[in-house]
Structure 1
Amino acid sequence: MPEEPTPKPDKQEEKSPWNEKLAELLIKAAIGGGAGTVITLLSSTELPRLALGAGIGGAATMVYAFVEPIAKRTNKGLGQAGDKTADAIGKKTEQVIATLTSAEDRYFTAQSQECKYCRTEGMAKVEGIFTPMLEKVYVPLELDRSAFRPGLMSDVAKSGRFDETDSDRLTRLDIWKLLAQTEKDLIYRRLVILAWGGYGKTTLLRHLAFTYGQNQQGSGLPRLVPILLLLRKYREELTQENPLSLPDLIAQKHIPNLPEGATLRMSPDWAKNILRRGDALVLVDGFDEVPKAQRPQVARWLNEQMRHYGKSTFILTSRPKAYQEQDQAMDTLELETILWVKDFQEKQRRQFVEQWYWCQEYYHHGKEDTPDIRREAQRSADELLAQIEARSELKDLAKNPLLLNMMATFHRRYPSAELPRRRVELYQEMCVLQLRDRPGARRLETILGYEEALVILQMLALEMMQQHDEQVSQEVILRRLTTYLTEQAETVSAADFLRHIEQVSELLVQREPEEYEFSHLSFQEYLAAKEIIRLKRESVLYQHFEDGWWKPTILLYAAQTNPTTLIRQAMQQGATDLAYTCWQDTTKRVNLNDAELEVLTQLTPTLQTSRYQTLEDLLKSGQWRDADQETYRLMITTVGKEEGQYFEPADLENFPCDDLRTLDQLWLRYSNGKWGFSVQKQIWQECGSPTEYSDGWEKFGDRVGWRKDDDWVDYDDLTFDLQKTRSGEFPREIRGSVLFSRAETCEL
């Protein structure tokens, strides 16, 4: 049957403002069917699109903006038919408005309350140290846009005008700059944020959820509905044969778990409607916390939800290895924009420490904020920062926000003590603080001595690593603890031990009912490494050289032992980057004896040869483009970063001369002296050694073939032909005045 023609509006209707016409429709729906009918109408008319165009988002906001003022006018007209009728209709409309706005506003409040405090994972409560509110100590993370597609980079980046000033300016981003672009460009609605443990990925998502929940996102940004989903909580639901859809997951799992969420009565299609309209900000935390075998299913589920609700914004966090090791196209997450969390810089360190110490003094003095209290907080902050800035190894640790938080906690607990020098020492001191000193300060009786309790936790940590567990049920953990306590001839019960560790040390925490995990995965990795040392079972690690899950544990193990055999085994299995990282960390230690150092020194040439073999093979066969990419990979991993990241100026200022010299010699040898860092350095010097963009830098670009006809050449348009190119054209992936200055220092 053909559709009936749409009636033409009468002249009066044509003159009515669009918001008045839609508001009157909403009133009729409210009178006829209540809140549920209004929601249905919101999803089936042009109202959401028009509202977004006017800068209005969310059902409650739309109801306020359109229904309430028009209801007053309509009720006035209806009053002519009788006051009782008008009053009844008015009350009905007001009830609908109150119901809708109350429910959605309560959701915003509940989601922000969930993220109110700065409960940093890995940081247990310590006597005399307070848990501050998140927004009092939060420091914006800088994100590295190095994985952006070339089309997203500015003209300066594409041109090759790439000194340290340009690089820093181009790559410095915070999440709000990206969210401001979501309406203009679809790629900003699909973000993945990568970082290793302790770099603040979860805290960033909590900050976003809190800020949107409090409607503090700032001008120019629409108010999105934040939905913070921790994958570790829902991975079992998402890997079932018929998993819940995203709207059902929100309605049945997410909302009831929020503070007072059980009392929230959202309309049945509330989640689906905000997702369809594009009003949702879906924050998905911890892809790496899903076991490797389950990640393909979770990736497929996420892809399906993102395709189905394409107007909403999705942000996913993960450790790098878990995200990068997706090797099947059908299981790869479809996220257009990949970002890395950058190291904490000096300015961020200072801001965090000063804010953190102010919070401690503020709470310690009963929430008083006086000049004396601020001076005391500043004095303590300055003392801590002075220690950090005076020692390079502490500055390395302070690049990680979690470790900086630990240093602040240690410093306040032991104000006259020297800070631990190395990562493993910091973890050790935090275990002492939480297992031994904390119960001592509170005069609590301990059921096991510090050393005995530590061994039990080490045994648990190692088994959790072997089972690829981050969380275990109460039943499983009690069974395991019973076994460990029996093996160690301890008479305390597993239940008592678990209760003691949870309530006193908080190295084990219960984030979900009857689900236990270490306060941070880093503690699990550290304790597992200590247990391998205690058992003298280094061979346990040999089968895990290519498994990203084990990499931190391997590095923590290598940092506490003489890892010569470990390095040799890694080299034999082709894990040269891991072997190199272990060797680098070991060379920074001061407690190896002469014989151990000599063994490592003898091993170094073999390690270097093995590590650079792929580059040499590519250069020998004339695969110049691939060799350029391999040069970048070798250099970025040399400074302890992952493929896809940019160099900070400090990375190149301190780049190891031996490695830079090896790279240069390989390029010189196979290009017959035409290419290499030393060639580029000499041309750079002849152009006046420019450190900023200038005529000298353009002259350098002309000399090495990076510019033609007064314009910079895109990377893909280079010749990659040894016979046709200019001297100094390659390597090209890493460039800039800092690198050439380092080549000077290293006497290339």
Structure 2
Amino acid sequence: MSQKNNKKRPKSRSWRGLFRRRSDPHRAYREKYLETLQYQHRTFDVKGLTTQGIFTLELARVFVDLGLGQMGQRPSTDPIPRFAPAQQRERHSIWEYLTSESLQNHNLAVLGAPGSGKTTLLKHLTLTLASPESLPESVQGMPRMPILLLLRDYAAIIEEEPDFSLLTAVKQELARREENIPLDWLAQDLQNGRCLIMLDGLDEVAKPQLRRQVVAWVERQMQLYRNNRFIITSRPFGYRNNPLNGVLVLEVRPFTPEQVRQFIHNWYLANEIKSAGHDDKGVRLDARQGAEDLLVRLRQTPVLLDMSVNPLLLTMIATVHRYRSSLPGRRVELYEEICEVFLGKRHEARGILYDLTPAQKKRVLQPLAYAMMLHKQREISIEEAMAIIDEPLSRVSPHTPRNEFLRMIENTSGLLVEREVGMLGFAHLTFQEYLTAVHVLDQRLEHELVQHI
């Protein structure tokens, strides 16, 4: 992780020290601000998932730290990446990048495929820094007043008011929470380089021109508040054509087997504690037995084991296991939900709308999957794919160019992946098989399929 630096940010004061100073006139405002952040980000976000547990889980109980590494030549859009031993060796916690003496002058861009945990990572950072009395000593030397903003919430304002300030954005964020906290102290903290500014979801600014304006705004904030640290997250496509100047680009690594195990145990324990209303030896035994049962089923079901490297997919698998008791059993409902979520259902739940609905995208992809299965293809040229989707796409969106539709599916959902130049394939054979099966049922093509067996 070593990087050269010519100038260093000024050392920030001990955060514990700031809170212990009884003479600090802004202490009450700081504490109220951090309390608001805790309330806002403390829950584990499962918006947009059809199968949900009956309990709201605390993020701190479920979270497993992500592995990060410096980006290769081309970041992967694949939500279920193939195992790459070299990438697995280079895995560092976000805290390592933030506390490294050699990187203290670097802002960070964190790129990851759909469902890889980028937003959850920023929420974890926010919650950790919002509890200054429990901060580990290892993070005492870094700027640590957290600011977390979702870029999609401010894109329209930035378009109308390019000089819209970061501080105004924080005020508007607090107003949404019905909090009216004076922020003179935060302006001072920004001036003195005491903040960690996290800007989430560059890719969620859908219009390319507007995204470029948002990138320009982010770069202005990084220059204006240059003594602070910034972290920007995005899916690869949102960053590829809009790179930020002077940032260290990191890529989220897929879960390792140990991370899968840790997450499942954390998730089951959080559910059992909520279910029982208390935490004791019996509750922990029930949680351990449920987690171990799921781990056994994953090992016995290679398809699900492949998917478990993606935190969002692992959450969906764990939820189906606990609340439907249907794994490995009938997995079609799980695959249906995965396709819907990755094609936009989760974004819709967050208020992000695209020109095509998840159902419309699915109808276009079904004949593509079917044609590939008939010809026993795992990958297909972009030209061939465009010819196959021409008719179904014209029915749902006649003005959408075929190549733009394919790129949109690759970039925003990860269901299609370009593993070789000019060649597309489904991220996992399971998705291809599921979409084929739905197409066969919808079009009553069972007789044609039988002829190819």
TM-score (norm 1): 0.47
CA contact (8 A) 2:190 2:228 kept: yes
Q: Which residue of the partner structure matches residue 549 of structure 1?
A: 408
Deviations 1:631-683 (A, max 9, x none): xxxxxxxxxxxxxxxxxxxxxxxxxxxxxxxxxxxxxxxxxxxxxxxxxxxxx
Q: Which residue of the partner structure matches residue 93 of structure 2?
A: 174
Task: Sort the Cα spacing of 1:180 and 1:543 in 2 relative to 1 into closer, same or farther, 3 A.
Answer: same
Deviations 1:24-49 (A, max 9, x none): xxxxxxxxxxxxxxxxxxxxxxxx96
Question: C-alpha separation between the residues in 1 aligned to 2:166 and 2:413?
Answer: 37
Task: Sort the Cα spacing of 1:547 and 1:398 in 2 relative to 1 into closer, same or farther, 3 A.
Answer: same
Q: Are residues 1:220 and 2:138 paired?
A: yes
2:318 aligned counterpart, secondary structure: helix
1:537 aligned counterpart, secondary structure: helix
Task: Sort the Cα spacing of 1:525 and 1:209 in 2 relative to 1 into closer, same or farther, 3 A.
Answer: farther
Deviations 1:658-710 (A, max 9, x none): xxxxxxxxxxxxxxxxxxxxxxxxxxxxxxxxxxxxxxxxxxxxxxxxxxxxx
> Where does 1:637-652 land on structure 2 (aligned, <5 Å)?
none
Task: Sort the Cα spacing of 1:165 and 1:596 in 2 relative to 1 into closer, same or farther, 3 A.
Answer: closer
Q: CA deviation at 1:136?
A: 0.3
Q: CA deviation at 1:221?
A: 1.8
Query: Aligned residue pairs: how many?
Result: 393
Give the letter aligned to residue 70 of structure 2.
R
2:323 to 400, 413, 416: 413
Q: CA deviation at 1:581?
A: 1.9
Q: Which residue of the partner structure matches residue 400 of structure 1?
A: 310
Question: C-alpha separation between the residues in 1 aligned to 2:303 and 2:275?
Answer: 31
CA contact (8 A) 1:411 1:419 kept: no
Based on CA coordinates, which of the two structures has the bigger radius of gyration? 1
Q: Are residues 1:141 and 2:51 paired?
A: no
1:196 aligned counterpart, secondary structure: coil
Q: Are residues 1:529 and 2:373 paired?
A: no
Q: Which residue of the partner structure matches residue 197 of structure 2?
A: 282
Q: CA deviation at 1:336?
A: 2.0
Task: Sort the Cα spacing of 1:217 and 1:555 in 2 relative to 1 into closer, same or farther, 3 A.
Answer: closer
2:223 to 307, 310, 315: 307
Q: Which residue of the partner structure matches residue 250 of structure 2?
A: 339
Question: C-alpha separation between the residues in 1 aligned to 2:317 and 2:188?
Answer: 46
Q: Are residues 1:318 and 2:244 paired?
A: no
By relative contact order (CA 8 Å, sep 6+), the higher-ranking structure is: 2
Task: Sort the Cα spacing of 1:381 and 1:525 in 2 relative to 1 into closer, same or farther, 3 A.
Answer: farther
Q: Which residue of the partner structure matches residue 105 of structure 1?
A: 31
Task: Sort the Cα spacing of 1:302 and 1:588 in 2 relative to 1 into closer, same or farther, 3 A.
Answer: closer
Q: Are residues 1:185 and 2:103 paired?
A: yes
Q: Compute the RMSD of aligned alpha carbons.
A: 3.9
Q: Which residue of the partner structure matches residue 425 of structure 2?
A: 581
CA contact (8 A) 2:114 2:412 kept: no
Give the letter aligned to residue 290 of structure 2.
S
2:109 aligned counterpart, secondary structure: strand
Give the letter aligned to residue 354 of structure 1.
H
1:581 aligned counterpart, secondary structure: strand
Give the letter aligned to residue 131 of structure 2.
Q
Q: CA deviation at 1:242?
A: 3.7
CA contact (8 A) 2:37 2:130 kept: yes
2:187 aligned counterpart, secondary structure: helix
1:381 to 274, 282, 291: 291
Q: CA deviation at 1:418?
A: 2.4
**Contiguous gaps of at least 5 residues in structure 2:** 1-8, 74-83, 368-390, 438-445
Question: C-alpha separation between the residues in 2 aligned to 1:57 and 1:555?
Answer: 40
Give the letter aligned to residue 281 of structure 1.
L
CA contact (8 A) 2:393 2:402 kept: no
Q: CA deviation at 1:224?
A: 0.8
Task: Sort the Cα spacing of 1:386 and 1:578 in 2 relative to 1 into closer, same or farther, 3 A.
Answer: farther
Deviations 1:66-120 (A, max 9, x none): xx5xxxxxxxxxxxxxxxxxxxxxxxxx6xx4x4111112111211221111123
2:128 to 196, 200, 211: 211
Task: Sort the Cα spacing of 1:406 and 1:218 in 2 relative to 1 into closer, same or farther, 3 A.
Answer: same
**Contiguous gaps of at least 5 residues in structure 1:** 1-47, 69-93, 149-163, 327-331, 432-456, 472-507, 560-569, 600-748
Task: Sort the Cα spacing of 1:426 and 1:178 in 2 relative to 1 into closer, same or farther, 3 A.
Answer: same
CA contact (8 A) 1:362 1:373 kept: yes
Deviations 1:356-399 (A, max 9, x none): 11111111112x22222222211111121112122221122111
CA contact (8 A) 1:410 1:430 kept: no
TM-score (norm 2): 0.74
CA contact (8 A) 1:321 1:548 kept: no
CA contact (8 A) 1:228 1:284 kept: yes
Question: C-alpha separation between the residues in 2 aligned to 1:179 and 1:261?
Answer: 30
Question: C-alpha separation between the residues in 2 aligned to 1:527 and 1:320?
Answer: 24
CA contact (8 A) 2:116 2:311 kept: yes
Give the letter aligned to residue 195 of structure 2.
A
Q: CA deviation at 1:243?
A: 3.3
Q: Which residue of the partner structure matches residue 294 of structure 1?
A: 210
Deviations 1:520-568 (A, max 9, x none): x9xx874332343689614557523487433267875x79xxxxxxxxx
Q: Are residues 1:201 and 2:121 paired?
A: no
Q: Which residue of the partner structure matches residue 562 of structure 1?
A: none
Question: C-alpha separation between the residues in 2 aligned to 1:400 and 1:542?
Answer: 31
Q: CA deviation at 1:217?
A: 3.6
Instruction: Tell me which protein shows more helix as a share of its residues.
Output: 1
Question: C-alpha separation between the residues in 1 aligned to 2:203 and 2:128?
Answer: 25
2:26 aligned counterpart, secondary structure: helix
Task: Sort the Cα spacing of 1:527 and 1:403 in 2 relative to 1 into closer, same or farther, 3 A.
Answer: farther
CA contact (8 A) 1:117 1:132 kept: yes
Task: Sort the Cα spacing of 1:234 and 1:315 in 2 relative to 1 into closer, same or farther, 3 A.
Answer: same
Q: Which residue of the partner structure matches residue 271 of structure 2?
A: 360
Question: C-alpha separation between the residues in 1 aligned to 2:297 and 2:113?
Answer: 25
Question: C-alpha separation between the residues in 2 aligned to 1:340 and 1:583?
Answer: 18
1:311 aligned counterpart, secondary structure: coil
Question: C-alpha separation between the residues in 1 aligned to 2:113 and 2:451?
Answer: 32
> Where does 1:590-739 land on structure 2 (aligned, <5 Å)?
none
Q: Which residue of the partner structure matches residue 440 of structure 1?
A: none
Percentage of pairs with the same residue: 27
Question: C-alpha separation between the residues in 1 aligned to 2:358 and 2:244?
Answer: 30
Question: C-alpha separation between the residues in 1 aligned to 2:401 and 2:97?
Answer: 42
Q: CA deviation at 1:57?
A: 4.5
Deviations 1:374-433 (A, max 9, x none): 2221111112111212222112211111111111111112114425658xx5252579xx
Task: Sort the Cα spacing of 1:583 and 1:197 in 2 relative to 1 into closer, same or farther, 3 A.
Answer: closer
CA contact (8 A) 1:529 1:554 kept: no
Task: Sort the Cα spacing of 1:219 and 1:254 in 2 relative to 1 into closer, same or farther, 3 A.
Answer: same
Task: Sort the Cα spacing of 1:548 and 1:219 in 2 relative to 1 into closer, same or farther, 3 A.
Answer: farther
